[in-house]
Amino acid sequence: MKIDKISLDNYITGNYGEDEQKLQKSMLFNLEEIKEAVDWAVGDDGFRSKEVIEILKLTRGEENATKKSNK
């Protein structure tokens, strides 16, 4: 099953229903909370969560670079 970015954002933020395109700022999580959730979910000692955090940082860096180049 392929998950697009909007669906993933909505899943992470808990934003379901009619306003799926709007992010709920009160549901955003910091990197430490995401790391802990990944560790709990996969029963890992931190290896997978470090990978997830690196992916998030790379993705954010690519988004920022795209935004800067479009200005």
**What is the tally of structural domains in the chain?**
1
Residue 58 is predicted with a pLDDT of 92
Would you say residue 24 lies in a domain? no
Residue 21 inside a domain? The answer is no
To which residue do tokens 């808990």 refer? 14
pTM: 0.56
Interval 24-46: pLDDT, tens? 556 788 889 999 999 999 998 89
Q: Is 39 domain-assigned?
A: yes
Instruction: Find out whether 36 and 52 touch, Cβ atoms under 8 Å.
Output: no
Of 66, 16, 59, nearest to 34 by C-alpha is 59
Residue 66 lies in a domain: yes
Q: What range does the domain containing 10 cover?
A: 5-14+29-70
- Return the pLDDT at 17: 57
- The confidence score (pLDDT) of residue 63 equals 85
CB 6 within 8 A of CB 20: yes
Instruction: Please report whether residue 19 resides in a domain.
Output: no
Provide, rounded to the nearest whole percent, the portion of the chain with pLDDT above 70: 62
**Residue 22 falls within a domain, yes or no?**
no
> Are the CB atoms for 39 and 46 separated by under 8 Å?
yes
- On whether residue 55 sits in a domain, the answer given is yes
